Structure 1
Amino acid sequence: MRQIICGLLIFFVTIGFSACAPKQKKVVDPGSERIYRITVSDRFGRISSEFWTIDKLEKLGVKTIFSSYFDRAMKYDDAEFKVVSLLKIISQFELKSGEDAILLNCFDDYQGILPISDALKYDLQLATKIELGFGSSKPDWLNPLLVVVSDGKEPPFAERFLTANIRELKFVRLSDYYGPLRKIAKDSKEASQGFEVYKNNCLFCHSLKGRGGNKGARLLQVYEFAKETGQQKFLNNFKNSHHKDNADKQNVEQFVTRDQLQRVMDFLLALKRSEEKKS
């Protein structure tokens, strides 16, 4: 009987200590052995890559910050980041071919892109570790390396400032990257406006003409934008997949209006017609 009573006492004391223990943050850390590629080209166009680990990145200087920009977009509270300045990383390389942007290739086939001028203007950081508040749910894609906007900086509220799960930084020229799409966007004022919305919020997952990521569907193959039924299907599916409460926290709806989505469809329709003329 004494053993039973002692056992119960130990059980309740343990429960008491557990209940009083401080709540721990959820740490998102892929491990220091993960390898990242940084790719540059010389003045002759020859491409070469360096391989970096978290330890090597953090030797450039690491600090801990918060980001109200990230919390607002992800509906989190007090997420905490260990970060390295993106400008410090850029400064390690001599850009000889007019590169003015960084292509961000990700482990999950997402592809972001940032003008180097944005890194300078908004003092962008790369997170090597993410700590979410207690009880926060983490989507599978939310892993370092992650672009982070520091508090006190206010870039446009757009998907491109939230690129995560980065495996490669590749220096490129914006004119080369967007050129094939920008040419088609000149078809009309509406198509041009749609291109701007698309490149800042959609191209990362839905590639076009060899540009962008392959995480999402090929939109021109799925939707008939020349038909009203196809446009309505696109709008319905967009709302179902990208609303604020979706399970994967891909809330693109917060970045675009209904009118902007209409301009996106104008741009995609112009692209489709351009392809049909060539075939």
Structure 2
Amino acid sequence: MKILKIHIILSCLFIFSFLSCNQKKEQKVEHISSTQPEIMLDVLDLQTKNRLGKDTVVTITNDPVYRKEKKYKAVSASLLIKNEIDLSKIDPKNTKIVFECVDGYKPEMPLELFLKAKPYLAFQDSDAPKGTKWEIIVNDGNEMNADPFYIVYPSVSSKDARYKWPYNLVKIYLEPLNKSTLELYPLKNRKLESGYKLFKNHCLTCHAINGIGGTMGPELNYPKSVAEYWKEDELVKYIINPASFRNKVKMPTLGISKQQSREIVDYLKYMSENKKKI
């Protein structure tokens, strides 16, 4: 009789443990695929409606885009967001801010980090030649214009990669911090996590996979993966130094090693077997 009771108790403990583990897994997945609402601000529309806020002049000691000291007419970006969005209804710690630019560039960063940095939304270059709003940007032989908006940080080092300095800015989105994690994370082969992180940090702002990411550069996975029609060694070399393959290429030198580039290519090969129709 005692043995029977022990068996019953152990069975109950096993069932309870099994259910608890499943609940933890479900909670983890639920956290990754957060249902926090997505919010969009059309900055051009807000300017038309005179809702950007009070303007001022800000000085950037070492501007990472123009590579020199610059002055801009600007408004407080953090105050603009607080005036337009009820932040009490979202969790800044679990939210990211995404910047959409005219050319399809789509960088992102944690909202909490962005707000603490006291960023500004520049709408005019004080150093621009007479009769123009912006000085032309020259980068690797390519000429670009910052118009209509440019995010700048007077008190942040331009060398701190955590902060994004998007120009040609037109829209701002607030999204769950882990949006797209399940879609892009290599769940079937976690050894490729390093390549996934490298791709996310260096490539996703310009390129999309299965429709997720920037549109400045081409979609890399659908309908045909770049890993399917490039020779693997050539693709590794191209990612390291695009200018060695194409004249006046827009893709920048990422400053990564050959091993890191190979990890990105391994991740791309994995995603080529996990396509999703756009």
Check if 1:157 corresponds to 2:161: yes
Instruction: Name the residue aligned to 1:39.
Output: none
Structure 1 CA distance for aligned equivalents of residues 238 and 145 of structure 2: 21
Secondary structure at 1:172 match in 2: strand
Q: CA deviation at 1:169?
A: 0.9
Q: Is the Cα contact below 8 Å between 2:227 and 2:268 reproduced in 1?
A: no
Change in Cα spacing, 1:223 to 1:137, as seen in structure 2 (3 Å) is: same
Aligned to 1:212: 213
- How far the C-alpha of 1:86 sits from its partner, in A, is 2.4
SS at match of 1:56: coil
Q: Which residue of 1 aligns with 2:169?
A: 166
Residue in 1 that maps onto 2:132: none
RMSD, matched Cα: 3.8
Normalised by the length of structure 2, the TM-score is 0.64
Whole-Å Cα distance in 2 between the matches of residues 119 and 247 of structure 1?
A: 32
Identity of aligned residues (%): 19
Residue 199 of structure 2 aligns with which residue? 198
Q: Taking structure 1 as reference, are residues 47 and 224 closer, same or farther at Cα in structure 2, changes over 3 Å only?
A: closer
1:134-180 deviation line (CA, Å, top 9, x unaligned): 9975432533422223345467336x613221111122112224331
Deviations 1:159-209 (A, max 9, x none): x61322111112211222433113x267223x2122222222211111112
CA deviations over 1:217-259 (Å, ceiling 9, x no partner): 223335326x9x622222343355368x9747753424x3333
Gap runs ≥5 in structure 2: 1-34, 130-134
- Partner Cα distance (1:143, 1:246) in 2: 25
Paired residues of 1:103 and 1:169 also in contact (CA < 8 A): yes
2:240–2:257 CA contact under 8 A, matched in 1: no
**What do the CA deviations read for 1:91-127 (whole angstroms, capped 9, x no partner)?**
1111435561222122222222221022134333322
The aligned counterpart of 2:50 is 56
What CA distance in whole angstroms lies between the structure 2 residues aligned with 1:124 and 1:186?
Answer: 39
- 2:108 is aligned to 113
SS in 1 for 2:68: coil
Distance in structure 2 (CA, Å) of the matches to 1:53 and 1:267: 41
**The residue matched to 2:174 in structure 1 has which SS?**
strand
Query: Structure 1 length normalisation: TM-score?
Result: 0.64
Partners of 2:167 and 2:72 in 1: CA distance: 13
1-structure distance, mates of 2:257, 2:48: 38
